[in-house]
Structure 1
Amino acid sequence: MSTFPHARQLHTLNQYVSDVQDKINVSFEFFPPKTEEMEHTLWQSIFRLATLKPKFVSVTYGANSGTRDRTHDIIKAIKSKTGLVAAPHLTCIDASQEQLKQIAKDYWDNGIRHIVALRGDIPAGQPNPQIYAADLVKLLKDVADFDISVAAYPEVHPEAKSAQADIDNLKRKVDAGANRAITQFFFDIEQYLRFRDKCAAENINVDIIPGILPVSNLKQLEKFAQMTNVHVPNWLINMFTNIDDDPETRKFVGASVAMDMVKVLFREGVRDFHFYTLNRAEMSFAMCHTLGVRP
């Protein structure tokens, strides 16, 4: 029996690539490196993914001044070295409103126009922040006409009182001036689609951009999922069975899962996708190439 795909299968694959090519937008997320080696890897990834002309790239932000400073420096360097739209994360944690205004003004003065506005994770033992994400959006809009992304949670924020309370909070952020929402990573596409429908029913009229996490390490994924209230389905766990010591196969599996998600979401009308890169370019670049997003 031939191992080559049937002609009809090839036609379907070609049609899919033709349908998607030049019709989706991508963005990428990075985090500040902690060592020189990590910084080298980060810049290799940034330069490689920059060739795909993403809509923007974002850099995460910690709850201490050291991480904040690294985020600021990386954002400015990305803009100057690549010309990409660079979007820093900004949180309400460990900063006064006056400090947040000064940070925002500094970004604006340096040509940074897009900010990802978040409440941020509250460190153990610290009190709740003075303001929350919706307040931060308003503060930023009062400083200047920033393009603002906020977070959304198809499987409900871990600290939300209910799913409806979580959607109400997203609406407050949008009403305050947010331009789009980027979701936490997920694997249950039906859950995302139901969430999107509920947002539309509440007149949340901005794009709900799916956050896509290409998985290459199941143990790391399970750790992330536990922190973020994301369900890891059994079918995904089974796909990583017996390949703990085979990193190349894990990458292929993870990329395949992520591309299948993009295919289904594209058919459901999604055109923008945000990839959580974990500062590695290989999987995101390969997926984008396959999807027709190319240099």
Structure 2
Amino acid sequence: MSLGLPSRLPASPAIGDLIRRPAPTFSFEFMPPKTREAEQLLWRTIRELEPLRPDFVSITYGAGGTTRDTTVDVTERVATETTLLPMAHLTAVNHSIAELRNVIGRLAGAGIRNVLAVRGDPPGDPTGEWVRHPQGVLYAEDLVRLLREAGDFSVGVAAFPYKHPRSADIESDTRNFISKCRAGADFAITQMFFEADDYLRLRDRVGAAGCDTPIVPGVMPVLRMATIARSAQLSGAPFPPALLARFERIADDEAGVRKLGIELCSEMCRKLLDEGVPGIHFITMNRSPATREVWQQLAGAPAAPAAAA
């Protein structure tokens, strides 16, 4: 099936091609806003980060498809009102194939050719049982195939440095990831992690299994102790004990926690770049200061003062 993509679509760069260039890409992730105040914050953040000229930005999709229309709207607006190259997330939760094709058609109609296909978390409880929509798809690889059948999309998928929480073990998780790649994924972006070796082990085991799909690390600095408390939900694994001990020693010093988080994230990114990663994807939580500080430390530029997250 083809949705008849606009003729201008091929002129939009394919993120899969950008990631395979010799130089690493730098990109940002944003979340669709749920309130008017959140919308204002999002667009202020986008305008503050736009001058850094990232290679692309991604717009996430709410659990259970709760921000489906907002995701498409924000992606369209980024494409038409900024200089940024947007990528829309697309999840399968609570969506029939017909509904998914409708979303894909909207993206195609807006000239969006870059999509990150993820199965998604159940609404309400990300760790709860995943239930397939009666007329939906079961796995992310099915969503990849649906996008491939629909037109000229550059498709990314998620990767998990530890393993997906629902995978039985590392071996089956690796097989599942490679199945997504062979279904037509051009690249992958990881869930956040906090130690470079976690990413490197993922890259090594995928490569050893004969898969050369580029995997971009997704990173986010720890800015407050609450982030550590939520790390299992955010990253799918407990926070590294050695790093936890360092943060716990200064837990009552909010500024110190923030400073240490940015320093550790910057150090990890430098190590990853030295190891030849294809890019760095910054999870911004719709705020710019911390992302700009890490970016500037990597670039060797003096960091601008930033009091907020």
Which TM bucket (shorter chain)? 0.7 to 0.9
**One-letter amino acid of the counterpart of residue 118, structure 1:** V
- Output the amino acid matched with 1:99: E
CA contact (8 A) 2:215 2:278 kept: no
Give distance in 2, aligned partners of 1:263 and 1:140.
34
Q: State the shift of 1:136 in Å.
A: 0.3
Aligned to 1:142: 149
Deviation at 1:202, TM superposition (A): 1.6
Q: Does 1:253 align with 2:253?
A: no
Q: CA deviation at 1:140?
A: 0.2
Structure 2 CA distance for partners of 1:93 and 1:183, relative to 1, 3 Å: same
| Superposed counterparts of 1:67-106, under 5 Å | 67-106=67-106
Give runs of ≥4 in structure 1 deviating > 6 Å. none
Write the distance in 2 (CA, Å) between the matches of 1:78 and 1:242.
41
Give me the TM-score of the superposition, normalised by structure 2: 0.82
1:181 matches 2:185: no
CA contact (8 A) 2:72 2:106 kept: no
**Bigger mean CA offset, 71-80 vs 131-140:** 71-80
TM-score (norm 1): 0.86
Structure 2 stretches lacking a partner, 5+ long: 1-21, 302-309
Aligned CA distance change for structure 1 residues 293 and 178 (closer, same or farther; 3 Å): farther
Matched residue type, 1:94? N
Q: State whether residues 214 and 278 of structure 2, in contact with CA within 8 Å, keep that contact through their aligned partners in structure 1.
A: no
Indicate the larger mover: 245-254 or 52-61.
245-254
- Specify the alignment match of 1:15 in structure 2: none
CA RMSD of aligned residues (A): 2.1
Q: Provide Cα deviations, 1:165-206, integer angstroms capped at 9, x if missing partner.
A: 111111111111111111111123223212111111122211
Say yes or no: does 1:202 pair with 2:222: no
Cα distance in 2 between the residues matched to 1:78 and 1:279? 14
CA contact (8 A) 1:76 1:110 kept: yes
Q: Does 1:151 align with 2:151?
A: no
1:172 aligned residue (168, 179, 185): 179
For residues 240-292 of structure 1, what are the alpha-carbon distances to aligned partners after superposition, in whole Å with 9 as ceiling and x for unaligned?
23544544333221110111001111121114001111111001111112212
Partner Cα distance (2:235, 2:295) in 1? 26
Q: 2:274 aligned with 1:267, yes or no?
A: yes
- Aligned with 1:215 (options 205, 217, 222): 222
**Are the equivalent residues in 1 in contact too, given 2:162–2:237 (CA < 8 A)?**
yes
Correspondence for 1:288 among 284, 295, 302 = 295
Q: CA deviation at 1:236?
A: 1.9
Aligned residues: 273
The answer to whether residue 131 in structure 2 is matched with residue 127 in structure 1 is: yes
Aligned-residue offset at 1:227: 5.6
Paired-residue identity, %:
37
Whichever residue aligns with residue 51 of structure 2, its letter is T
* Bigger Cα displacement from structure 2, 56-65 vs 92-101: 56-65
Q: Does 1:44 align with 2:44?
A: yes
Larger Rg: 1
Structure 2 counterpart of 1:164, one-letter code: E
1:110-144 deviation line (CA, Å, top 9, x unaligned) = 01111010000023577334421000000001001
Superposed displacement of residue 231, structure 1: 2.9
2-structure distance, mates of 1:194, 1:159? 19
Equivalent position amino acid for 1:62 in 2: G
- The gaps in structure 1 that reach 5 residues or longer are 1-21
In structure 1, how many angstroms separate the alpha carbons of the residues matched to 2:91 and 2:300?
A: 31
Amino acid at match of 1:127: V
Summarize the Cα distance change of 1:65–1:217 in structure 2 as closer, same or farther, 3 Å threshold: same
The match for 2:238 among 202, 227, 231 is 231
Distance 2:121 2:48 in 1: 30
- The AA in structure 1 aligned to 2:165 is P
